[in-house]
Amino acid sequence: MAKKQQQQHQVMQQVPSVGGIRSSFQSLVALLIAILVVATIYIRQSNEQLFQYWTTYDKTINGLSSSCNLFAGKWVFDNRSYPLYKEKECTFMSDQLACEKFGRKDLNYQFWRWQPHQCDLPRFNATALLEKLRNKRLVYVGDSLNRNQWVSMVCLVDSVISPTFKTIHNNGSINIFKAIEYNATIEFYWSPLLVESNSDDPISHRVPDRIVRVQAIENHARHWTDADYLVFNTYLWWRRRQMKVLWGSFESPEDGVYKAVKLPRVYEMALQTWAQWLEVHVDRNKTQLFFMSMSPTHQKANKWGGIKGENCYSETEPVTEEGYVGDGASPRMMHVVDSVLGELKTRGLNVQMINITQLSDYRKEGHPSIYRKHWETITEEQLLNPKNYSDCIHWCLPGVPDVWNELLYAYILEL
């Protein structure tokens, strides 16, 4: 009997008390709350750091206060002075960007003005720019977002040139708008990765297996090296975990050496080739160099407080929260750009960064969405769910890229 009581006592000791279970549960809850608080603080600090990063870079311009940061500010609705041109009146508007033409009814995206906090962005003056470009070449080099900006610039100057004194010419990878009276050209050169790749055809460039020659740029660069103003971008086409690199030529692919290289290392390799070419071949007394930071995408509505699974489709207002940071751009890739530009600067070649990332991140409603020309037939399934074929990458015109060009204008006019 005593032995049985002893066994029961031992069992009772092994079974946790209700108070013990409650205490353990409370400790677990406290631990989870602590983890949540730490994670929230970390995310907030990370977003604040990203905001500071996206709104910096060398931004001092002669004639403006040295404290003026053109990239930190807010969007102000202004239907008196904007848009700077009308979509229907731009002679060379692209159907990919003509959102009003293709059925968009809410046109407020055309009326937002970028207002830096500590100064005013110089008002765009098409005649003043053309005078600055007299007998010169302004060349945009990059992907379809740089072409988006090129179309914007053409539309910005189009209205002050009479029809008989302007032409546009497409020749393979290069598109040339010419203001005859000024002997000035505003050009776009298709080179989505800057270095050579199997996506270099200006029309047939969507390939399942992207291959890049990170050490080859001369076939592109010979078209734009002697320009007076060069505006580069490259980001969109690098958005993958790794890229296949070819050491060899596309003419004899079987003789080449192939290797998959991860991001951002392969991006860095390409930019170093680009930088080396500039250092050797660009006339520093003639050519002004610019690099556009990343144009953010708006694919995830939950990032700005929308419904998870939605995107830019049906958005009609910008993000108003200052310091908002989405996930449509990559800080680690921009750090690569910073590093490469910094190295160039130490060797006496300055490339001015135009930081469009943060200001564009607010503009979730500025994309074409479904309001554009569709090059492929839209299926019935897609028609039932428009978000699935919405373009949340490029930008309606008039719109956000006009401000990119206003920033560029401010630098060109003051350089």
Residues in Cβ contact with 189 at an 8 Å cutoff, skipping those fewer than 6 apart: 139, 140, 141, 142, 173, 174, 175, 220, 223, 224
Burial class (CB in 10 A: 0-12, 13-18, 19+), 311: buried
Does residue 27 have an active-site annotation?
no
Residue of 220, 298, 367, 394 marked active site: 394
Question: How many angstroms separate the CA atoms of 109 and 106, rounded?
Answer: 8
Does residue 394 have an active-site annotation?
yes
What is the DSSP code string of 155-194?
HHHHTTS-GGGEEEEEETTEEEEEEGGGTEEEEEEE-TTS
Question: How many angstroms separate the CA atoms of 198 and 245, rounded?
Answer: 11
Looking at beta carbons, which pairs linking 245-249 to residues 24 or more positions away fall under 8 Å? 245/211, 245/212, 245/213, 245/214, 245/269, 246/211, 246/212, 246/213, 247/213, 247/215, 248/213, 249/213
Task: Give, for 289, the enclosing helix (H) or strand (E).
Answer: strand 288-292
Token digits of residue 106: 């809410």
199, 208 Cβ separation under 8 angstroms: no
CA-to-CA dists, residue 177 to 91, 138, 183, 409, angstroms: 11, 10, 11, 17
Residue of 158, 361, 391, 402 marked active site: 391
Sign of CA dihedral 28, 30, 34, 37: positive
Sign of CA dihedral 188, 192, 198, 201: negative
What is the DSSP code string of 348-400?
T--EEEE--HHHHHT-TT-S-BT-S--SSPPPHHHHHSGGGG-B-SS--SSSH
Question: How many angstroms separate the CA atoms of 366 and 304, rounded?
Answer: 14
81, 329 Cβ separation under 8 angstroms: no
Q: Which residue has the tokens 């029961």?
A: 8
Does residue 391 have an active-site annotation?
yes
By three-state DSSP, how is residue 297 classified?
Answer: coil
Residue of 144, 152, 197, 390 marked active site: 144
Q: Looking at the annotation, which residues are catalytic?
A: 144, 391, 394
